[in-house]
Amino acid sequence: VGGGDAAVLEALYLSQIAKEVNIFVRKDHFRAIESDRLETLLSKPNVHVFYETEVKEIKGNEKKLTHVVLQSKGKPAPFDFPL
């Protein structure tokens, strides 16, 4: 979650060990200053970026996270995003 340099750096790390990395950015662009890292991140096939999307709630049970509730600009209601 986020669009700054820290979010880009962490997503790059996760993209090396996870099957899929989803990034939720509240604005319509990243705020990251390091453009080389951002370019590298966006070129990764297992990285998916959701712009103008805000995490409203994180849900799960005692064992694991199951989904997040998101609100996207232009959508009238929040929606579930399964994890």
From first to last of its 83 residues, what are the pLDDT tens digits of the chain? 788 899 999 999 999 999 999 999 999 999 988 899 999 999 999 999 999 999 999 999 999 999 999 999 988 899 999 98
Total-model pTM: 0.88
DSSP 9-48: HHHHHHHHH-S-EEEEESSSS---S-HHHHHHHHT-TTEE
Cβ burial, residue 65 (10 Å; 0-12/13-18/19+): exposed
* Contact predicate 23/48, CB 8 Å: yes
The span from the CA of 64 to the CA of 59, in Å, is: 9
